Amino acid sequence: MEVGQRLKDLRAEAHMSQDDLAARVYVSRQTISSWENGKTYPDVQSLLLLSEIFDVTVDSLIKGDVEAMTKTVDSDVRTMKRLSYVMTVFIVLTVIACGWFSFQVAVWDWPIEQAVPTIVLALVLWGIAMFAALWAERIKKEHDLITYREVLAYWNGKPVDRDTEKGRMERALPRRVKTLRTIGWTVVALIIGAAFGVLVSGAIDMLWG
């Protein structure tokens, strides 16, 4: 991948660190490292910024990597779309399984241990949905996509504008804050899921009781 070596050479000639370049392109240092090591490619917006920073043409940056870049980006976009579909379908199936469990317990008055297979099924479905979500998050991280607008632009093959107020704020957050926020949202989701299960169970009990 010539573009990675080209970026590394240009950065060295400009006496810039990966952190310096990352700040000017509005991506993380890890993303710069990923580009230089040939793990991922810069998107269109990043290539334009890089060409301005180093005062070179986009063509000279990418040289013979155009076809490979197109294939890589297209492949990642297709993968993200498939993962989003898988995640949506399996979340819906999880909700259906939880409703079936509530029906078994509230309407048929099954003991909990008899409904265990339904609980296991719901957990398996939820696990598949979360696996798809984590895979999609990995792709987002590789391409340094943080905000919904960035993901949507990448999804539609448009230039990704990372120089937005929300994008800058998200990238400025310490890792521990992001981790705590993720944990918080997970707890909230669990509470909402539990409350939904209780409501469904109560509604079924009222209708069939």
What CA–CA distance (Å, rounded) separates 82 from 84?
5
Question: What domain range includes position 189?
Answer: 71-208
| Whether residues 169 and 130 fall in one domain | yes
pTM value surpassing 0.85? no
The whole-number mean pLDDT for each consecutive block of 10 residues of the chain, a chain of 209 residues, reads 83 91 88 86 85 86 69 83 90 82 75 83 88 87 83 81 81 77 71 64 60
Q: Which of 25, 42, 67 is the last residue of a domain?
A: 67
Contacts of 136 (CB under 8 A, 6+ apart): 80, 83, 84, 87
How confident is the model over 17-36, as pLDDT tens digits?
999 998 898 888 888 998 88
| Whether residues 92 and 129 fall in one domain | yes
| Whether residues 89 and 172 fall in one domain | yes
| Whether residues 153 and 91 fall in one domain | yes
How many structural domains is the chain composed of? 2
Q: Is 154 helix (H, G, I), strand (E, B) or coil?
A: helix
Q: Which of 67, 101, 118 is the last residue of a domain?
A: 67
Q: Which of 32, 52, 67 is the last residue of a domain?
A: 67
What CA–CA distance (Å, rounded) separates 7 from 46?
12
CB 160 within 8 A of CB 150: yes
| Whether residues 127 and 202 fall in one domain | yes
| Whether residues 34 and 89 fall in one domain | no
| Whether residues 75 and 63 fall in one domain | no
| Whether residues 83 and 172 fall in one domain | yes
| Whether residues 47 and 112 fall in one domain | no
Place of tokens 């107020």: 165
| Whether residues 114 and 36 fall in one domain | no
DSSP string, 79-103: HHHHHHHHHHHHHHHHHHHHHHHHH
| Whether residues 11 and 53 fall in one domain | yes
How confident is the model over 114-148, as pLDDT tens digits?
878 888 888 898 889 889 988 988 888 888 888 88
| Whether residues 75 and 116 fall in one domain | yes
Contacts of 46 (CB under 8 A, 6+ apart): 25, 27, 160, 162
